[in-house]
Structure 1
Amino acid sequence: MAEEHSQHEIEKDEARKRYEFKKSLERLEEKEGSGTELISLYIPPDKQIYDVTAQLRDEYGQCANIKSKQTRSNVQSALSSILARLKYFKTPPPNGMAVFCGAINVGGDKTDLESIIVEPPEVIQTYSYRCSSTFELEPLKAMLDDKYVYGLLVLDRREAYWGFLRGTHIEPINGTHSTVPGKQRKGGQSSVRFERLRLIAIHDFYSKIGERASAAFLAEPNFFEKFKGVLIGGPMPTKEEFAAGNFLHHEVQKRIIGLFDSSYTNEFGLRELVDNAQEALRGVGIMDEKAEMSRFFKELIKENGAAAYGEESVRLNLEAGAVDTLLLSEKLRKLRLTLHCRNCGYEEVKTMQIEAGKKAKDLPHGYCPKCQSPLVLSKEADIIDELTELADASNTRVEIISEDFEEGSMLYSAFGGIAAVLRYPTGM
């Protein structure tokens, strides 16, 4: 039990890191400069810092060739800022580091020099230095891609469909229809000849499915590292005949994880297949998240169920220690602000939506209801951080739910991105 709890803590920590990493990339993506004034520097863990600083000093000298005085000054300021920050590093961190620095446009022909260091969740493989009007983020974005994929295939003798399961996202690819005749033979044909032709048509259809599905699966980049296996769904005995007939490419065939009943063999059948393969996919992100959302929906439809949703209700239940599992959408982009009045001491706390790239200071803070003086920001927190802290105080599990599947999307669109399974009904 302790081992299971420890594993859950590790997974929760990974989900939080992924959320924070994704947010940091969103903020960087919104930043723009003029010309080629923004510097993106990727340093692998085995790169010597003094080699990096030597190149940056050389780049500083090359700035003399930049015709625009403003651009020259901004690039040199960015290089000086990076050099100053690198003095604190004897060696790069274990996964390397990405440094982003430059004069960011803040409106009204004004710029702010910003310098951001990102320690990525995976190892940076290649050293690179780039100047542009935006930051180069593709190497970091690639780290958000799902590392493992599963092939999905549903079929009967009429049609077939295939696709991928990537983390929590089901990706339909393509399908095909058969020309296999029904069991009722046409007039004038002997039953033996008709059945022989029908079996040939079935075999040809299975061969076509195997060829096309295998081509799609084998086209997956880094197939041998990323492709974990294939799930096959459909009615009996079709899926069993197909699997036994070795119609898939041998590299895909040997990776068959299991056969699962499914009544649909179209695009919707891929979702049914994933649902029916829960045991085989235990521990895969989508199944764990589906299980948590299923618990919530089961409680929600009960007359006196142990479920709550919406920030106000969930917050009250957290403060009462009544929440068993807190469900938060990874799409949440809100801040919890504490505002006060310098004139009369009035204070209020409120939650506000924030756009990517914006800061708390960019939001309208309003006026004091007592003396009409402007309210001033005194404290801010990301709402996921703030609610997680509340949850930790009462030993509540926290699950960050992606929106790559139907129930996860509903958490954000229908319930505001905040819900909870309670320890007991509270009516709050």
Structure 2
Amino acid sequence: MSDQQKYDSFDEYKIRKLISELESKEGRGTELISLYIPPKRAISDVARDLREEASTASNIKSKTTRKNVMDAIESILQRLKLFKEPPPNGLVIFCGAIPHGAPGTEKMEIHVLEPPLPINIYLYRCDSKFVIEPLKKLIEEKDVYGLIVMDRAEATFAILRGRNVEVLNTITSGIPGKHHAGGQSARRFQRIIEQVAHEFYVRIGEYTTKYFLGKDIKGLIIGGPGPNKYEFYEGEYLHYELRKKVLGLVDIGYTGEEGIRELINRSENLLQQSKLMHEKQVFNNLMATMVNDYTKVAIGKKEVLEKLDRAKILIMSEENDDYHLTFMCPNCGFQLEADIQDEQEPKEGRTCPRCGTQMDLISKEPLVTHLAEMFKNRGTVELMSTQTEEGEQLKNSFGGYAAILG
């Protein structure tokens, strides 16, 4: 990956989490504000537009909606004062009163983020839902590759999208097995086999067009045992646009879904920009370090937390269900932090160890987020999904937490 667009698994994780959270929120009226500011838009212009929107909002008939919209605009204006100009990729702000039960339970929430790539739209929208489609479009998987494994008997088509591999279809040729007759019968049988093979290659080409043409794939990789993949490629059965996207022909021992897995593993040099390969490299680095010197790694949540101050690379599973909680005593102000698994114990009901008063839960966030935010300025944070074999092994064998120590 280029330095300009180096993949950051934690940044992507945070945005996907935020999108999921925002999708579930809904206001009582049209009072949730979404604001997209492109990098070259002057903050002073945005502030002027917001003041005009506040003037318009003063005419809203519903007293509650009017107040919530004007409060949200004021909250955004206060945040904008922290910026002389938009960040290099622009700025996205979501703000509004979110109900937490009956009327009157609304709480003002504001989310401010710099998107992972530059945004090119200027958008202000006040609605009952946040407008997240432009943000979702920014993080759509752009590392998309077409995969084909084939021999004369069958061909399997798959698509690699980010870290996810989707097998699309498997087709068979119907080419008969070995024929033991000799003479003219053998030559006739061979001609039949060659004709059926030709027709099968034509079908493979048609399915390749169906699955990959116009799908904005970065490249196409063809693998299989023996010479059949070369016959297919050199025989010009591929659409000319897809032919230009072939990254390589790879020798593998299997076909079918097992062949797809082998093709990915043997295509590291061709897929080095993909998120899947990035995840494999992270895990392989962990395993190599463990083999060379076991004292240089920490495995499992308990050991990782104990040795976090020595870590250089923190590796965690996105699927970890641990949470970091902060409680505060309303009487003496004492704060208490705790890490628990989701639903492991009540989130309320802690007693203050100083004065015995029931404590209030003031924050709850995924432990993954808490640790990554603490660690990211002094080391590298890597988050792995369970969509890959390596990510699944991290979660199931290592408890979802590991670190490479200094």
By the TM > 0.5 criterion, same fold?
Answer: yes
Provide the residue aligned with 2:318 in structure 1. Answer: 330
Provide the residue aligned with 2:401 in structure 1. Answer: 418
Provide the residue aligned with 2:28 in structure 1. Answer: 34
Provide the residue aligned with 1:406 in structure 2. Answer: 389
* Aligned counterparts, 1:108-187, within 5 A: 108-109=102-103, 110-184=105-179
Structure 1 counterpart of 2:241, one-letter code: E
Structure 1 counterpart of 2:126, one-letter code: C
Provide the residue aligned with 1:351 in structure 2. Answer: 339
Provide the residue aligned with 1:253 in structure 2. Answer: 243
Q: Which moved more, 1:334-343 or 1:54-63?
A: 334-343
Count of residues paired in the alignment: 402
Deviations 1:346-371 (A, max 9, x none): 9865313469xxxxxx9426125687
- Supply the distance in 1 between the matched residues of 2:74 and 2:336 (Cα, whole angstroms): 41
**Closer, same or farther: CA 121–54 of 1 in aligned 2, 3 Å:** same
Deviations 1:179-208 (A, max 9, x none): 222232799982222211211110111111
Deviations 1:353-412 (A, max 9, x none): 469xxxxxx94261256874434679988644664588789x876432233212213423
**Residue ranges of structure 2 left out of the alignment (5+ in a row):** none
- Supply the distance in 2 between the matched residues of 1:106 and 1:340 (Cα, whole angstroms): 20
1:274 maps to 2:260: no
Deviations 1:328-354 (A, max 9, x none): 113346444566779899986531346
Provide the residue aligned with 1:19 in structure 2. Answer: 13
Q: TM-score, normalised by structure 2?
A: 0.82
- Supply the distance in 2 between the matched residues of 1:138 and 1:318 (Cα, whole angstroms): 37
Residue 127 of structure 1: how far off its partner (Å): 2.1
Are the counterparts in 2 of residues 299 and 305 from structure 1 also a CA contact under 8 Å? no
Q: Which moved more, 1:395-404 or 1:127-136?
A: 395-404
Are the counterparts in 1 of residues 10 and 382 from structure 2 also a CA contact under 8 Å? no
Residue 297 of structure 1: how far off its partner (Å): 5.9
Provide the residue aligned with 2:194 in structure 1. Answer: 199
Structure 1 counterpart of 2:245, one-letter code: R
Residue 137 of structure 1: how far off its partner (Å): 0.9
Residue 277 of structure 1: how far off its partner (Å): 1.4
Are the counterparts in 2 of residues 299 and 306 from structure 1 also a CA contact under 8 Å? yes
Residue 61 of structure 1: how far off its partner (Å): 4.3
Are the counterparts in 1 of residues 218 and 245 from structure 2 also a CA contact under 8 Å? yes
**Closer, same or farther: CA 123–390 of 1 in aligned 2, 3 Å:** closer
- Supply the distance in 2 between the matched residues of 1:384 and 1:159 (Cα, whole angstroms): 43
1:107 maps to 2:101: yes
Are the counterparts in 2 of residues 162 and 174 from structure 1 also a CA contact under 8 Å? yes
Residue 67 of structure 1: how far off its partner (Å): 4.2
Provide the residue aligned with 1:426 in structure 2. Answer: none
Provide the residue aligned with 2:351 in structure 1. Answer: 367
Structure 1 counterpart of 2:116, one-letter code: P
Are the counterparts in 2 of residues 327 and 420 from structure 1 also a CA contact under 8 Å? yes
**Residue ranges of structure 1 left out of the alignment (5+ in a row):** 356-361, 424-428
Structure 1 counterpart of 2:339, one-letter code: T
- Supply the distance in 2 between the matched residues of 1:73 and 1:324 (Cα, whole angstroms): 48
- Supply the distance in 1 between the matched residues of 2:320 and 2:278 (Cα, whole angstroms): 20
Q: TM-score, normalised by structure 1?
A: 0.78
SS at match of 1:172: strand
SS at match of 2:202: helix
Structure 2 counterpart of 1:17, one-letter code: D
The structure 2 residue matched to 1:239, chosen from 229, 235, 245, is 229
1:43 maps to 2:37: yes
The structure 1 residue matched to 2:299, chosen from 281, 305, 309, is 309
- Supply the distance in 2 between the matched residues of 1:41 and 1:370 (Cα, whole angstroms): 44
Q: Which moved more, 1:135-144 or 1:106-115?
A: 106-115
Are the counterparts in 2 of residues 167 and 284 from structure 1 also a CA contact under 8 Å? yes
Q: Which moved more, 1:49-58 or 1:273-282?
A: 49-58
SS at match of 1:163: strand
**Closer, same or farther: CA 254–407 of 1 in aligned 2, 3 Å:** same
SS at match of 2:218: strand
- Supply the distance in 2 between the matched residues of 1:11 and 1:379 (Cα, whole angstroms): 32
Are the counterparts in 2 of residues 318 and 390 from structure 1 also a CA contact under 8 Å? no
- Supply the distance in 1 between the matched residues of 2:134 and 2:385 (Cα, whole angstroms): 22
Residue 417 of structure 1: how far off its partner (Å): 1.8
Are the counterparts in 1 of residues 43 and 80 from structure 2 also a CA contact under 8 Å? yes
Residue 140 of structure 1: how far off its partner (Å): 0.9
- Supply the distance in 1 between the matched residues of 2:375 and 2:77 (Cα, whole angstroms): 41
Deviations 1:92-120 (A, max 9, x none): 33322222222111223211223333221
Structure 2 counterpart of 1:146, one-letter code: E
Are the counterparts in 2 of residues 185 and 194 from structure 1 also a CA contact under 8 Å? no
- Supply the distance in 2 between the matched residues of 1:104 and 1:51 (Cα, whole angstroms): 28
**Closer, same or farther: CA 305–193 of 1 in aligned 2, 3 Å:** farther
SS at match of 1:93: coil
